[in-house]
Structures are given as C-alpha cells and as structure tokens.
Structure 1
Amino acid sequence: MFKVKISGIGKTVGSRVVASTELEKVMDVKPGWIEKATGIKSRNYVDFENGETALTLGVSAAKKAVEDAGITLDKIDCIIGANGSPLQAIPCAAALYQQELGLGDSGVPSFDIDTTCYSFGVALFLASGLVDSGLYKNILIISADAPSPTLDITDNEVRALFGDGAGAVVLTKTSEDEPSRVHHFKMNTYGSGASFTEVRGGGTLKHPNHPETTPLDNVFHMEGKKIFKYAVRYLPSYFESFFVDSGINQKELKFILPHQTSKHGIDIFRKFGFASEQIASHLSIHGNCIAASIPMLLHDYIKNGEIKRGDQILLFGTSAGLSLGGLALTY
C-alpha cells in the first residue's frame, strides 16, 4: 500500500468532433454500422493541419492537472510520459513534454513508461512508490494519443474505434487525515498474443534501410477478435487472483474504470461479477483514446461528482503484449 493521492487531474481532446454518421460516409459503410458495432456515437480528432498533435494535447492536459492540484509547474519534480503510441522514436515523450511546458532547462527527471494502452496504470503504480518513498513530491504523469492522422489507411475496424485525447495527473503524498491510497497492482503478460496488436516499423527490426520494410509496417495493425478471445480466456483467473491477493471486496468497489476498447470490450465485465452501475464508460462520446482513455475517464467521473474522495476504484486495461493490468486505489 502506498499513501499517495491524485491531487490534480486534467483532460484535453482534439478540437474536431467527428460523428459516427459522418465517418460512415467517408468509410462508405452502411449507416448505423459504427455505433452498432462499437457503441461509439462520436469522437474527437486533432486539427493536425493547424498544429494540433498528441504533444499539444498532452501539454494542455498537464497544465490543467497542475492548476487543479493548486501548485505551479516549478513544483513538479518528475515527469512521466505514459502514451500508448510514441510521439517519435527518440527522445522519450516526457522530454518533449518537459520542453513544451517551459521546463527544458530545469533538470527535472523525465522518462517514459510504455505498455501501450495500459501505460497510465503502470505509470501511476510505479510513480506511487517513488512518491511514497519520499524521492519525489509532485510527479506529473501525462498520457496523450492522437492516432487520427494515420487512420485513413487502416481497416474499418480500426478506423471506427479511435479518437484523440489526453489525460494527466499530479501525484502527491497523502496527509495523515486523508483516506487516499494505492492498494494493489497486478499485471499479466501473454507474449503468445504479441502479434495481435502491432506497429512493426519504427524500430531496429523493421528499420528504414531494411529492403523488406514497407509503409504498411508503420501503420497500426490489430486483430480485434483474437484479442477479445485471448482476454476472455485469461480474465476469470486474473480477477480471481486479483481479489484474493488484494483482499478487496469486488462488490464494494465504486467503479471499475476500464480501458475504453469497444462496447463489447466494456460490457464483458458484467460476466466477471461487476454490476452494470459499477462499470464506468464514456466510450460513446470519445471512442478509444488508447492510453489516454483511463485518465480521461477518471477525469470525467471525478469532475461530474460520481467519484469522490474515499471512493475505492479499479483502473483496468488490456494492452498490446498481450497484457492485462489492474490497479486498485482509494481516490
């Protein structure tokens, strides 16, 4: 258990609202297909031509989180980038965030944690240990993803799902009279499913000078049905061990905040003992924003008053690898 709290949270989305009805015309698919298949009515896209990117979204969300925490940027003593997709191959996103936040000469340690869609959950857990130990006082975690500029050459399944957004939090130590805690973390990875979610290019395996590297190697590839079947296979034993090891009563959780994969990917939690009212979602208006999904969802539920101080919640996600991750905390 770590005695830490989320003291500030921020969210920013792409400035373009794209309805599923609009996207269906571009994709030349049957009207109503996207919402029926995914549960998504609309999503936000960045205005890439006017300079809006995952970097600008992340910086904006970070500034909001710092303001929400009641501190100034000079009080941040560590920055963690927790994107689901890299801003560029090198350097890490956190260094770019640091520069854009006006801290480029500060020396504040900045690094990334990358487990694709569950990067935020892992970053929050590891940052909790760093704050609890006293090494850092105010850690800024930023998750931002903006896949929309690449989606026009992906298949319809992928194109229908994704949106652009960012979420950020400031993590600080909990005072003695506050209930906030990070309780339990569990992550399982099944590498036999690694090929189900890939961007093959951008590294040394499919490097630019390799004669077999093609433009498609730099495009997101996903086999959604295989991922779903894999997750369903492992989820029962995952949740059983999570709640046994943590001692947490599943029914006493206020919410499970799952990565916003798709309608089917969210509804499945009812089969694993979660009541409908425990399952948080804003999928219909944001789609799947990759690693930013969970902090964006957390932001909305905190700001609309559905999550209050003292509420026990579970941040859960699946990610490329294939991985399952869960972090239980008292907000």
Structure 2
Amino acid sequence: MQPTPVLCGIGTSLPDNVVTNDDLAAYLDTSDEWIRSRTGIRERRVVRPGTATGDLSLAAAQGALKSSGSASVDLVVLATTTPDHRCPATAPDVATRLGLVGVPAWDLSAVCSGFVYGLACAASFVRAGAARRVLVIGADTYSTITDPGDRATRAVFGDGAGAVVIRAGEPGEPGALGPVSLGSDGSLRDAILVAAGGSRQPLGGDGAARDGRYFAMRGKTVFRHAVERMTEAAERVRAEAGWSGTDVDCLVAHQANLRIVQAVAARLGVPAERCALTIERLGNTAAASIPLTLADAACSGRLRTGSRVLLTAFGGGATWGAAALTWPDVTPVAA
C-alpha cells in the first residue's frame, strides 16, 4: 500500500523585535488607523541586524524535530524568497547546522505559496517511498528586501519561520495530508517583484538597479488574483476531499491581508469564526505565514486532534496552492 504523508511535528521561530504601527508612523507618512483599516495589521516582528533567514529556519526546524519526537529526516525543503545568499541555497547550511550532513536539502522559491509547494514536494517523496520523514520549512525576512521609506510594503510584512515534519503513515490517521492543488501564471510576474539582483537585471552601480533592489507590489492586482486563485485552489481541494464549507473546521489562508482572508472565507462558505488569524500580530510573513498560523491555532485550542484543516495561499510568480489535512495530536514547539 502507498504510504500516506502525515504531519507529525511543528515548530516556529519569531524575532523578539516587535515593531508597532506607531513605530512606523514615527518615520513614515502613515498612522495606526491607516494601516489597520487597509490591512488588519497592528504589529509585526522584525529581525535585528545580523539575524538571517537561515537563523530563523534553524530555530523553527529544531522545534519541529523536537515536536515530532525524532531528529532524523531523509530530506530538507526550505521555502523562502529571502535566502541568506543568492548563491548557494540556504537549506544545505540549515541541514548541516541541524546535524543532518549528507541529507538532500534545497531551497524552493514560490514566494508566499512556498510552504504549500513544500508540502506537495514532501508528500510526493513520501507517497513514492523515496523518503520516510521530510522536514519542510517556510521562512522569510522581508524586512531585508522592503524599502524602509515605502509605507505600502514596509507596513505589511513581518519576519518569521515555521517548520513541520512529514512522515510516512496510514490513511485516515490524524495528521494525514489529503489532496493538494498547485498552480502558476507567469503573465503576472511583475505584480510581485524584486526587479534587480537576478540575471535579467544584475545589481550594479546604475540607478535602475539600485531602485529595483526592493520588493514592489501592485496591490489591487494582487488582491483580486489572490482572492480568486486561493478560492479556486481551495474549492478544488475541498471537493476532492469530499468536504463542504461547514465540514471545514479551520481555514488557514495565507495571511497577506485581513480583507483577502475574509473574502476567501466568504466565497468558500467557511464561517468567519473558523478562520485562523495571525495577521494582526505578525503581519504578512510570506512563506512562514501558514505554519506560523497553524501553530498559533493549535496553541490556542482552535485546532484539536482530527480537526479538518484547509490551507490556501497565493504568492509572486504568480503561484498559488491549497491542501487539506486532518490535525494530529502534536504540541508546537516555539524557539
């Protein structure tokens, strides 16, 4: 019988540096009311100088391994848009720092959909019998790529990391990962973009390259496509799982914007009280958004063993994805 991928551990890591809306208003043309009314965000965590994505990834991974009851895995997948270096990948370094020398490890770039893409990757390896245990990390430090003077992006993003362990298990057991749906549309590549730093526009001394080194986003375009694609992917997964709107015990949507989450929930027919939210306290943590929100929901008691959970995300590329799982009997471990 083909093994079933089962979530068996979860860990998180957040910087200790809390940045409130009032902190941003001290040097940006903005206010707490302006930010809250448009995004639902009150505060976010920001790394201090010297802390990189790999550091947060390591701490979250250590928590996930401890939560799973074993430090052994067969491969490591790190979803991130903000690796420690453009070259090499960050995942091998994280794996080595975990004591997993020789274990395959790679970075996965699907922006805010990265964690769902990572889950799909882990599930495929488990179902194929190519791995028994997979560590999936979602981590980003968007404070390192947002323009300090741009209120539209600086106010939205926060830093953080979340990780899970996926193991081979049996169908129907708590933690079992169900259907997964992924998609992309490269015609939207400039809707979410860091223009400079790649081979198309290398970093250099010219003004265009300097201007393009920061994250840029076409907000209205992203809002519309995020709602449409997250809903479509979630509906596809839910139908394949045989769940109705009221069968979903908890919707964990990418925490891009409170209004996006609310719009997706309404279209799916999931009651608002069944939506897990961290956007107010953490902002948009990109690839870390879903695992951080899962851990928060578990710690608050919103998720219980056997809860039916629907995940959905949208990110640059454009990319999107959704997945269904039943919640296991696990205790999240925070760094």
TM-score by length of structure 2 reads 0.90
Partner of 2:276: 280
Partner of 1:292: 288
Partner of 1:62: 61
Task: Tell me the secondary structure at the aligned position of residue 57 of structure 2.
Answer: helix
Q: What is the aligned length? A: 325
Judged with a 3 Å threshold, the aligned counterparts in structure 2 of structure 1 residues 313 and 239 are, in CA distance, closer, same or farther, namely closer
1:238-253 alignment, distance < 5 Å? 238-253=233-248
- The alpha carbon displacement at 1:110 in A equals 0.6
Q: Name the % identity.
A: 29
Partner of 1:7: 8
Choose 62-71 or 168-177, whichever is displaced more.
168-177
1:6-85 alignment, distance < 5 Å? 6-48=7-49, 51-72=50-71, 75-85=72-82
Judged with a 3 Å threshold, the aligned counterparts in structure 2 of structure 1 residues 235 and 45 are, in CA distance, closer, same or farther, namely closer
Task: Tell me the secondary structure at the aligned position of residue 65 of structure 2.
Answer: helix
Partner of 2:331: none
Partner of 2:194: 199
- The alpha carbon displacement at 1:178 in A equals 2.7
- The alpha carbon displacement at 1:37 in A equals 1.9
TM-score by length of structure 1 reads 0.91
Q: Quick check: which one's helix share is greater? A: 1
Partner of 2:332: none
Judged with a 3 Å threshold, the aligned counterparts in structure 2 of structure 1 residues 2 and 248 are, in CA distance, closer, same or farther, namely farther
Equivalent AA in structure 2 for residue 101 of structure 1: L
CA contact (8 A) 2:234 2:310 kept: no
CA contact (8 A) 2:192 2:317 kept: yes
Task: Tell me the secondary structure at the aligned position of residue 71 of structure 1.
Answer: coil
1:69-148 alignment, distance < 5 Å? 69-72=68-71, 75-103=72-100, 106-148=101-143
The RMSD of aligned alpha carbons is 2.2
Choose 24-33 or 138-147, whichever is displaced more.
24-33
1:208-247 alignment, distance < 5 Å? 208=203, 213-234=208-229, 237-247=232-242
- The alpha carbon displacement at 1:285 in A equals 0.6
- The alpha carbon displacement at 1:190 in A equals 2.5
Task: Tell me the secondary structure at the aligned position of residue 203 of structure 2.
Answer: coil
Tell me the distance in 2 between the aligned counterparts of 1:134 and 1:236: 31
Note the alpha carbon deviations across 1:75-129, whole angstroms, 9 max, x for none: 12211111133332111121121233233xx211111222110111111122012
- The alpha carbon displacement at 1:47 in A equals 1.1
CA contact (8 A) 1:24 1:34 kept: no
Structure 2 spans left out of the alignment, 5+ residues? 328-335
Choose 243-252 or 197-206, whichever is displaced more.
243-252
Tell me the distance in 2 between the aligned counterparts of 1:220 and 1:245: 36
Judged with a 3 Å threshold, the aligned counterparts in structure 2 of structure 1 residues 241 and 278 are, in CA distance, closer, same or farther, namely same
Partner of 2:153: 158
